[in-house]
Structure formats: structure tokens, C-alpha cells
Amino acid sequence: MKTNLTLIGMPGAGKSTVGIILAKNLGLGFIDTDVLIQINRQKTLQQILDESDHLNLRAIEEEEILKLNISHHVIATGGSAAYSEKAMVHLQRISTIIFLKVSFEEIERRIRNFATRGIAKSREQTFRELFDERQVLYHRYAEIVLPCNGFTQEEVAEEIGQRLSSVWPTHR
């Protein structure tokens, strides 16, 4: 039985914040793969991008995800995790994948620091193009798609808990 939950979605969708709340509500551990990358590489995501490119950051992200050998955790992934089929297949094996679906307009409203946030995209790609491209990938891998517009992070975490209550193990 899968004992982890993985949150996927765009930067600004609330994966990290919802993940922390969800982990607390369900009595699980919490891992943020972006933070894992920064700890293991001793650099911010933006520094990695500035020193190389978005493809290198995606390769590092894949490598870190493939090393995950955990149970009873909520995993918040970086927004570009869905580009790696290997990483997503690994996450599907160890977790239930939940797509926090937020509209483009809401993401734009939430994110103010596009240039310094460490978003893995090519320099010539617009944020809208990136958004559209990633939606297809998120839908491909998600077992649960959760529309999040108009809900607080606490409400999103509560909704996930309710949806999982019938299938999620209540004891470990």
C-alpha cells in the first residue's frame, strides 16, 4: 500500500504550504524536493539556473526524487518534476499523486518574483507557455486533480484529507 502523498503543480500552487498542513493533519513527515536540492547542492534553485540552465536543474531534480526511499510522508515537488517520466513513475510507485490545479491568473497573482524564484524554464519561454505545457504533464500523472482556486491552503489540505479518508490507512 502506498503510504506517501505527492503534491504536484505550478510554482505558487501551494504545494509546500499545503504539504506542511496536510502532513500535520495526517501525522506524516514532510519533504520539499526544492529544499532537498538546495540542501544537497548548497545553492538556491536560482543559483543553479544562473550557473547552468533549466535542463540541468530538471536533471538534478530527477536525481533527488529518484533517491527518495521513504514512507508516511507528504512530498512537495518542484513545479518541473513532471518533466521527468522516471521521477514521476518512481513517485507513482511510492505515493498517491495529487495535482493542485490553480488557474494561470491566480498563479500570476500569487507569484511576484518570477525572475528570482528559480523556475526551470528556457529563457525564451513565456510563463504562459510554461503553464500550458505543464498542465498536460500534471494531468498525465495525477491520480487526484484538486481545483484550488478560491480556497485557502487549510481548506485544500482539509479537502485532500476528506478525499483520502476512505482509502488512506488510518494506522501505521
Residue 105, CA atoms < 13 Å, CB-side half-sphere: 2
> Which pLDDT tens digit goes with each residue over 108-165?
998 877 666 678 888 888 889 999 999 999 999 999 999 999 999 999 999 999 998 8
Residue type, 71: S
Global pTM value? 0.94
C-alpha cell of residue 31: 519533504
Q: How far apart are CA 122 and CA 120, in angstroms?
A: 7
Q: Domains in the chain, please, with CATH? A: 4-164 (3.40.50.300)
Q: DSSP letter string over 134-171? A: HHHHHHHH-SEEEE-TT--HHHHHHHHHHHHTTTS-S-
Residues recorded for the chain: 172
> Which pLDDT tens digit goes with each residue over 65-80?
999 999 999 999 999 9
Residue 134 phi, psi (nearest 5): -75, -30
